[in-house]
Amino acid sequence: MRSSKSITRDAVFLFINLKTYEFLKVTTLIDSIIYSQEVLYKSMKLIEEFLGAEKSLIFQLDSDRDEIFYKFIKDGKEDETKEIRFKIGEGIAGFVAATRKPFLSQNIRNDPHFSDVIEKKIGIKTNSLIAVPLESKDTLIGVIEVINKKDGKKFDSRDLKLLLSISELIGIAINNAFLYEKIKKKFEITDHKLKITKERLLSSEKLASLGSFANAIAHEVLNPVMVIAGFIRRIQKITPSNDLRWKYLIQILPQLERLERVVHDIANFAEMEPGTLSEGDINTKIRKVVSNLLSIIKQRGITIDLKLKDGLPHILMDKRYISLAIFHILMNSIEAMPNGGKIMIKTDKKEDNILVEVIDTGKGIKAEHIDKVFNPLFTSKTKSTGLGMTIVNHIISYEHGGKVEIESKEGKGTKVRLLIPTKIRG
């Protein structure tokens, strides 16, 4: 019979994985939507799933009337005939809009701001409630209100903290959805072009929101995982290798260690400071990174060919970050060639840019995955956290005003091209 402590640890572990998985669903599904009605509908459904809630409502701000309103949505479409409106300051949602502070109540019916208007409209008796302001770029755009947990328990501060993290992504998605619709209406551009505009607008904001999520769950995830991993290691030491339980232990530990790496990498990425630029030679940085990786390159049976053009102009760079970007690109190439291969690194000057190309003969990337390689946590490798190319893109595009391009063919290899301006663009 298992001890209560063992059951509790397992429950915590499952809870952590579920929450991380659901959060990634929020980022993935919301990022794939352009239109505001769909964003609202999908967001509410995912909040309910994420928090195990009976009902969630996203109120939008009507600044002209000094009100917030919720429109009933069915199958992703708003019902223009059914809506709930509150004046700013009225009801719980109106109170949150007025104060712009999160709200938690485990005994809502005794709260002076409580109104039964929503109960009458949706037919659910409110027992526990959390609500947070919905903002984008420090501007109020609405309120998220979540009603009752399906299991009958009360919402707590942990639920509120998680909802705050989700609200950042939803705020970005809704605000951008409204913007895309305005752009399309004004310029009558196609859905395909609208999606490209969306991806460019979302990228930097999504990376920032990842940091908030990391801060919200890092304590919950990392500490229990470290405790569990510690106990597993102790059990492993006292368990004979011929014991039936040994094969389970050696499978569990690598998964826990991978989860530790994921959380560490997310937290480290979230804490990246803005770069400090100074003049430097790109060829020197490449040679240094290659030198540091030479032992693992040789161990893997990989040959490396440097075709670095002499006399390239120095560029303004954060030397530490440029080295980090090159490191991640090379590690991807190395991991793509477990049985050996070839890496070629070329540099040149192209117009007002320094061109860096890293070409490998590895496994390549599936065509359907090319557009996803910069997404946080996307990976097709079992030992990777999926942040390498996200970091590369952040460093080159946002810290240095450059561009990252990828060409790849499955089974043939991959070419990563960096275009770094010789002068930082304003």
Quick check: 83 pLDDT over 70?
yes
Cβ-based neighbour number of residue 129 at 10 Å = 25
Helix (H) or strand (E) holding 4: helix 4-31
Considering the entire predicted model, what is its pTM? Answer: 0.49
What's the per-residue H, E or C state across 166-178? HHHHHHHHHHHHH
Residue ranges and CATH numbers for the domains of the chain are 4-219 (3.30.450.40), 278-421 (3.30.565.10)
Q: Coil, strand, or helix at residue 251?
A: helix
Half-sphere exposure of 33 toward its Cβ, with a 13 Å CA cutoff? 24
How far is Cα of residue 103 from the mean position of the Cα atoms in its chain?
Answer: 25
136-192: pLDDT as tens digits: 777 899 999 999 999 999 999 989 988 887 887 788 777 777 766 665 555 444 555
Residue 263 confidence (pLDDT) above 60: yes
- Residue-wise pLDDT for 18-77, tens only, equals 445 555 555 555 555 455 777 888 889 888 988 999 999 999 999 889 999 998 866 555
Residue 235, pLDDT > 90, answer: no
What is the C-alpha to C-alpha distance for residues 110 and 91, in angstroms, rounded to an integer?
Answer: 13
What pLDDT was estimated at residue 334? 93
Length of the chain: 426
| Share above pLDDT 90 across residues of the chain, in percent, rounded to a whole number | 37
Residue range 386-393: average pLDDT? 79
